[in-house]
Amino acid sequence: MATAISGKKTAVETYWCYAIDYLREDGSKGAVIGGQNTLSAAIAEAFSDATYYNGVCGYRVFASFKQHCALCQGQGEITIKSKRRKCPACKGKGIFQTIPETELVPSKHVQMSEKAS
């Protein structure tokens, strides 16, 4: 589990989630989300997802990442005894880092093709 520093230099357990948003040729959109304990693991999984949607499906693909509090899932609040309360782990911060949406484009020297199963 990764950690981030919140408030009074308290380490908070965090989680990296990612979204691969894809754009089909007809203009419709879709997305797949996932997450891992570290940024490097999240990038690896996101890359794998992106190559599928780009290489097999032929869609444009865009990746974004967020490091959020593991306890509240980035909401900054949790439910305690059926009441919404500020998350005690992150003190309400929720999301620690965001890597903005970036289009992933293969090298022009790469020919994507569906792998026979």
- Where do contacts with Zn ion occur on this chain (CB under 5 A)? 69, 71-72, 87, 89-90
**Minimum gap (Å) between residue 2 Cβ and Zn ion:** 14
Instruction: CB nearer to Zn ion: give 64 or 75.
Output: 75
**Minimum gap (Å) between residue 89 Cβ and Zn ion:** 5
**Minimum gap (Å) between residue 6 Cβ and Zn ion:** 8
Sign for the pseudo-dihedral over CA of 36, 40, 41, 44: positive
115, 117, 100, 116: which is closest to 51 by C-alpha?
Answer: 115
Place of tokens 């309400």: 92
Q: Are 25 and 103 spatial neighbours (Cβ–Cβ below 8 Å)?
A: no
Instruction: CB nearer to Zn ion: give 20 or 72.
Output: 72
